[in-house]
Structure formats: C-alpha cells, structure tokens
C-alpha cells in the first residue's frame, strides 16, 4: 500500500471506534480494541493490495479485536468480597505426607534437587544435570545418596 497510514487513521479512526464501542460499549476496552486494530493494521499495511477497501478491512480487523477483548473478559476471574464457605472434599493438599516433605527438605541441596527433578519432576539425570550443574553421574550419585538418607530415616522411625 503506497497510501500513508496516518491518513487511514485520520479518515477511518472514528468509524473503527464506533464499531469497537458498538461491540464492547464505551470505555477502556473499546479504546484498547481501537488501538489494537490500528497496531495490527500498521503491521500489515505494506502487504495490502492497492485495490483493498481500507474502511471495510479496518472494520473487519476491529470486529476481530473486539471479539478478542470479549473472549479475554470471559477468561478473567471476577473479584468478589463474598467467598463460599464450602469444605474441600480433597482435604488440604500436602498434609498427608508432611513428614516426607520435611525429610526431603532436610537433605543437602544437591540431593534434594536431584530427587526433586528426577523422581518428582520425571526428568532424566542428563536433564537434571543441565538444570543444577554437574554431570549426569554426579546427579545420579546425589539422588542415590539422598534416597539412602531417606531410607535410613524411615528405618529408624519404624524400629520399636
């Protein structure tokens, strides 16, 4: 398109704003959709054919941007002061194995990270080594040492 973009904004900006307000109502969302319309139009401006009906094209882009805003509204949480007083049927997450998590947290850092990434995160020793540094063999050793420490802890607890 050889025509200056600024001229299109001046000529069709009001029409695009009316479309945005018709779909979204007057307010910040309509203004945001208007801005998004012209940002998208600017990005595509050079690729437009000379025979393109600019007004129709901008209205179509505005309609799509307004729909995007409407969809975004539907995905956002609505704040409220009144929360429902219902008890979870699942209990409090993490309380059933509290001792395990305390014992894992007490391990030296490398052992804790090796166990966490490998056994809980299901990463390979190679991937874990990339995350925490060192070699896969060193990570394997740290995980084995951590498990050995945990086993000792639980054996002591099980003894009378």
- pLDDT tens digits, the chain, 160 residues: what are they? 678 888 888 888 888 888 888 888 888 888 888 899 999 989 888 888 888 888 888 888 888 888 888 888 778 777 778 777 776 665 555 556 667 778 888 899 999 999 888 887 888 999 999 988 999 999 999 999 999 999 988 887 767 6
- The DSSP string of 68-137 is HHHHHHHHSPPP-S-------SS-STT-TTHHHHHHHHHS-HHHHHHHIIIIIS---HHHHHHHH-S-HH
What domains appear along the chain, each with residue ranges and CATH number?
A: 5-75 (1.10.1740), 98-158 (1.10.10.10)
Residue 53, pLDDT score: 87
Contact (CB, 8 A) for 123 and 98: no
**Which DSSP category does 160 fall into?**
-
């Amino acid at each position: 398109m050889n025509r200056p973009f600024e001229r299109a904004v001046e000529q069709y900006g009001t029409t695009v704003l009316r479309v945005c307000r018709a779909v979204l109502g007057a307010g910040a969302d309509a203004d945001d959709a208007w801005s998004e319309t012209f940002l998208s139009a600017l990005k595509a401006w050079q690729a437009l054919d000379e025979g393109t009906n600019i007004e129709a094209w901008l209205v179509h882009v505005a309609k799509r941007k307004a729909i995007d805003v409407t969809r975004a509204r539907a995905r956002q949480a609505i704040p409220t002061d009144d929360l429902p007083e219902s008890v979870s049927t699942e209990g409090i997450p993490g309380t059933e194995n509290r001792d395990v998590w305390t014992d894992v947290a007490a391990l030296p850092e490398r052992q804790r990270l090796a166990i966490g990434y490998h056994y809980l995160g299901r990463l390979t020793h190679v991937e874990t080594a990339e995350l925490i540094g060192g070699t896969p063999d060193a990570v394997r050793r740290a995980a084995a040492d951590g498990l050995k420490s945990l086993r000792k802890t639980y054996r002591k607890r099980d003894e009378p």
